[in-house]
Amino acid sequence: MTVPPARIRTLTIDGKDVGAREDETILDVARENGIWIPTLCQMTGLSNIGACRLCLVEVAGSTKLQPACVTRVEEGMQVTAHSDRLAEYRKMIVELLFAEGNHICSVCVTNGHCDLQWLAQRLEIDHIRFPYLYGKRSVDASHERFVLDHNRCVLCTRCVRVCDEVEGAHTWDIMGRGTNARVITDLAQPWGESTSCTSCGKCVSVCPTGALFEQGKAVTEMVKHRELLPMLLTMRGRQR
Amino acid sequence: MTPEELSELAVAERQRLDRLAHQINVCTATACHASGSEAIKTRLTAEVRERGISGQCLIRGVGCRGLCTNGPMVSVEPQGVLYQHVTADDAPALLDSLASEPVSHIQAPTDDPFYTRQHRIVLEHAGEIDPEQITEYIAVGGYQALAKALYEMSPADVVDELTTSGLRGRGGAGFPTGLKWRTVAKALSDRKFVICNGDEGDPGAFMDRSVLESDPHRVLEGMAIAAYAVGAHEGFLYVRAEYPLAIKRLTTAIRQARQRNLLGDAILGTPFTFHVEIRLGAGAFVCGEETALIASIEGERGSPRPRPPYPAEVGLWGRPTLINNVETLANIAPIIKNGGAWFAGIGTEKSKGTKVFALTGQVKNTGLIEVPMGISLREIVFDIGGGVPEGRSFKAVQTGGPSGGCIPDELLDSSVDYESLTRLGSIMGSGGMIVMDNTSSMVEVARYFMEFSMTESCGKCIPCRVGTAEMHGILTRFCEKRATERDLALLEQLCDLTRHASLCGLGQSAPNPILSTLRYFKQEYLAALESNQPEEVGAAAEEGRS
Amino acid sequence: MSTDLTPPTARSDAERGEPKPKVKAATVWLDGCSGCHMSFLDIDERLIELAQHIDMVYSPLVDPKQFPDHVDVALVEGAVSSEEDLEKIKRIRKHTSILIAFGDCAVTANVPSMRNSFSVKDVYQRGYFETATRRAGVPDQVVPKLLPQARPIHEYVPVDVFLQGCPPPADVIYGLLTDLLAGRKPNLTEHTRFGR
């Protein structure tokens, strides 16, 4: 049986001519071609949700900005992944995360291994222009192996997705609205009392910040194993 | 039931009503209900029975007549007498007067501009028929449009008629309804859905509630026609749980329509099947956004997802789905009955038909109104609304709820249509219209709406979740007169970000109340700057908020 | 705000071939742990080189107790946490050409901000009563009153340069000062970040 030929699209990203399969996203193609687009909620191996808005790009002919992680390529598309306006929006988005949570890098277990901290540096953020909100948030240390610190959670929902889509447990979910939104385990019970959690630790490895970490880790000690998910998916035979 | 039987039933029902000397209609919609209309109805019914005139005088509960501020409202037909501020104790006098002059102290003028300037299509039966009796809806021509569509038109004809009518979505964005229907009709799938969006959440808005309470069959008929046109066989009515009366009447209406073969299998003797179910919303504003609403019906958390793909292609449970607002669907039956050209004859070039508004705030006549598109804001506020109360002056009118903006006095002659309102920095929205007088602070107004957007943000995307919270914080500083020039700059930057980077329409439109007040009332922001305040010792120490 | 450290008078002096006057520098310690100052001292022998161009006119490391009327560059460590901090930072801003938020506490409020989720009353309760080993009580003399929250400097006054790090590495401090002395605009995020 012959496989139907894959349709190929040609487009430009930041003026560079690129080719792509029709089912690829702008982000896939940009990465393939060495064009860096910042992302946070996106993680290869998990479903794309277009939530963090860091990967917004300009597409010629459209007044709306498009999230690169969920926007399919189209023939003749002219994508601008880097402009002053996008750079400013990306900075502001990361600044808003710092203003929202209580991110104190100097005393964080993930200091030095944190996606948020790295993004701030890469986007040349040297201070947060927006007033810090200093919300009162809690820490759940009831699990025998892991800790959840809401102060450092950016609500990217990587934990929710990896638990649902890869582990199949769906222990994690989101509760509440606006800045009161929180990740929860089961029906907002303490993590240690969760009956669905398999203690597999996938959520900890995909968490971009120090919100999820292993018990007993001190400042800078919580190294995240980002290679775990791609490896697992390869072992399971998933192609892409 | 066949179309012939439907017509026969309509004739019989009309004859029955015509034989009555008097029909006394008591408004039992939410506002009048809250001011005691149920007691009036009970008292009138008892009096009529006592006097032995039940055969000539029908007492019935009807839907909303609009002028909620003067409720409870009672009308006597066919004499055309209208009463306002009625109490149960007025019942005997009201009945005594049937043969003579109306009771003067409660009589309401029917020639008031509030009534004469309106143009009722969506609300044509509101206050005229008993919403709990399907026979009353049938008597006024109900379900005839469905019969016409099923027997005389192909699904494509129905879509064409809608396209000709120029009807645009009444939920806020104003997307052409015909185009939406055509897209869903074209989608290939073994299963499609029609959803009626009744998740009305704007503060001060109650258009959908009133339509559902006053004329539920009208919406069901619109849904059935829509389902026929796009090839769907299942429908969901998504209604806020905070609307118990609307839910009760819809439930009754669905049951009655099923019994009469107007919903369900083999509708009106044709092979067309359409089943409708009600789903209750849990009071989240964001569930009015179509992708969030779909997630909610699926049993997921009500959060929007990026579009495309649009629900017309990938909707409920991944199937092509048509989502229309209550008011949009209430416009369908008259369009099919009278033709798209008739509808297109009302309104402006690009905005056809009428729009229902919930007129509230500092205006004499608060309530529900329906006006032709193209009417000026001034006519609505001053003629229909009767202007602001004595001793105060008009300042601004807010349209479009938390996604809309404030329009100042000098622009009151602008036409009410989708394009004009957008040009003014507001939106048509679903139909909330709040009048503000000279005592209102526009910065406070902006903060009020921002507080709403902040607490109702689903929290999924960062610009909306944190942006609204930051904007609210900065507006609070303005309200407390301790904002700085830097705050003003940050506010403008945040408006820009939230507007262009948010995931769904709610976030994208959340800055509108700030942007429009900055545009027309910037002096109020400047006057609130800390540098423009008299020096106060220790003010700086208050800086850090706890 | 300009980041050129050369005073206008110096420029004309230089044109006349006269020796360039030294830059007046200050370091300030608000609500911080003094770690940034320690890191400053870790510049080590290069301090001697810097001293040829810089006059330290005010600092916890030198004698003067009053912030001078004019300072070319001020490195301010720590968050604004008390009424005294607030008064100080306003005076510093008024009399300083280039104000540098020196380290994470100055830039983000960092560790001092960990009290911000609690009320001042609760903080006093914890600090002066629950954990007191003797003479429990809130001091009402000498110790300045706390503001409701500890906040970064730029939320009160404009800041010209943000130097991140907890503490900023000595090399970065040295690099920043030499850049400023040479009239270059430094790119600090290349070398440091929050928490480094």
pLDDT digits (tens, 9 = 90+) for B466-475: 999 999 999 9
- Among chain C residues, CA nearest to B487: C155
Please say if the pLDDT value at position B487 is more than 70.
Answer: yes
For tokens 């006024």, what's the residue?
B140
Structure tokens at B113: 């501009």
C86 reaches B (C-beta below 8 A):
yes
Tell me if B98 sits within 8 A of B22, measured CB to CB. Answer: yes
Buried b (16+ CB within 10 A) or exposed e, C170-192: bebbbbbbebbbeeeebebbebb
Q: Which of residues 107-126 of A touch C (CB under 8 A)?
A: 107-108, 111-112, 117-118, 120-121, 124-126
Tens-place pLDDT, residues A101-150: 999 999 999 999 999 999 999 999 999 999 999 999 999 999 999 999 99
- Among chain B residues, CA nearest to A72: B308
Please say if the pLDDT value at position B538 is more than 70.
Answer: no
- Among chain A residues, CA nearest to C112: A104
Rounded to whole angstroms, the Cα distance separating B351 from B344 reads 9
Rounded to whole angstroms, the Cα distance separating C10 from C8 reads 5
Please say if the pLDDT value at position C9 is more than 70.
Answer: no
How many cross-chain Cβ pairs, A to C, lie less than 8 Å apart? 74
Residues of B in contact with A154 (CB under 8 A): 462
Which of C191, C193, C196 should be substituted to probe chain A, the one whose Cβ sees the most A Cβ atoms within 10 Å?
C193
Tens-place pLDDT, residues B405-431: 999 999 999 999 999 999 999 999 889
Tens-place pLDDT, residues A54-75: 999 999 999 999 999 999 999 9
* pLDDT the model gives residue A52: 97
Structure tokens at C156: 């009160």
Buried b (16+ CB within 10 A) or exposed e, B98-109: beeebbeebebe
Q: Assign 3-state DSSP to chain A and report helix, strand, coil percentages, each to 5.
A: 30, 15, 55
Orientation angle between helical segments A84-100 and A115-122, nearest 10 degrees: 140
Q: Which runs of consecutive H residues, i.e. helices, occur in B235-360? A: 244-259, 290-297, 326-330, 332-338, 340-344
Rounded to whole angstroms, the Cα distance separating B215 from B125 reads 7
Closest approach of chain A CAs to the CA of C123, in angstroms?
Answer: 14
Rounded to whole angstroms, the Cα distance separating C169 from C43 reads 9
Q: What is the mean pLDDT of residues B211-226?
A: 97
Pairing of strands B74-77, B22-27: antiparallel
Buried b (16+ CB within 10 A) or exposed e, B163-173: bbbbbbbbbbb
- Among chain C residues, CA nearest to B490: C155
Of B205, B240, B278, residue with least CA distance to B434: B205
Which of A90, A127, A130 should be substituted to probe chain B, the one whose Cβ sees the most B Cβ atoms within 10 Å?
A130
CB contact under 8 Å between B455 and A176, yes or no, is no
Reduce the DSSP state of residue A231 to 3 states and report it.
helix
Rounded to whole angstroms, the Cα distance separating A105 from A115 reads 12
Orientation angle between helical segments B155-165 and B216-230, nearest 10 degrees: 120
Closest approach of chain A CAs to the CA of B309, in angstroms?
Answer: 10
CB contact under 8 Å between C189 and A127, yes or no, is no
Question: In the structure, what pLDDT confidence band is assigned to residue B539 with cuts at 50, 70 and 90?
Answer: very low
Q: Evaluate the CA torsion angle A36, A40, A43, A46 in order and state its sign.
A: negative
E strand intervals along C83-176: 96-102, 146-151, 161-163
Rounded to whole angstroms, the Cα distance separating A168 from B368 reads 50
Output the pTM of the full model: 0.94
CB contact under 8 Å between B306 and A50, yes or no, is yes
Residues of B in contact with A23 (CB under 8 A): none
- Among chain C residues, CA nearest to A109: C195
* pLDDT the model gives residue C5: 65
Beta-bridged to residue C29, according to DSSP, are C77
- Among chain B residues, CA nearest to C113: B544
Structure tokens at B129: 């028929």
* Burial (CB count within 10 angstroms: exposed 0-12, middle 13-18, buried 19+), residue B457: buried
Question: In the structure, what pLDDT confidence band is assigned to residue B340 with cuts at 50, 70 and 90?
Answer: very high
Residues of C in contact with B544 (CB under 8 A): 116, 147-151
* pLDDT the model gives residue B523: 96
CB contact under 8 Å between C149 and B541, yes or no, is no
DSSP B35-88: TTHHHHHHHHHHHHHHHT-TTTEEEEEE---S-GGGPSPEEEETTTEEE-S--G
Residues of B in contact with A133 (CB under 8 A): 466, 469-470, 473
DSSP B223-263: HHHHHHHHT--EEEEEEETT-HHHHHHHHHHHHHHHHTTSS
Q: What is the mean pLDDT of residues A180-208?
A: 97
CB contact under 8 Å between B466 and A173, yes or no, is no
The whole-chain average pLDDT of chain B stands at 94
- Among chain B residues, CA nearest to A51: B461
According to DSSP, residue C125 is labeled I
Tens-place pLDDT, residues B14-24: 999 999 999 99
Q: Which of residues 114-133 of C touch B (CB under 8 A)?
A: 116, 119-120
Please say if the pLDDT value at position A192 is more than 50.
Answer: yes
Please say if the pLDDT value at position B50 is more than 50.
Answer: yes
Q: Which of residues 428-487 of B touch A (CB under 8 A)?
A: 454-463, 465-470, 473-474
B190 reaches C (C-beta below 8 A):
no
- Helix and strand numbers, DSSP H then E, in chain C: 7, 7
Question: In the structure, what pLDDT confidence band is assigned to residue C15 with cuts at 50, 70 and 90?
Answer: low
Residues of C in contact with A134 (CB under 8 A): 113, 116-117, 149
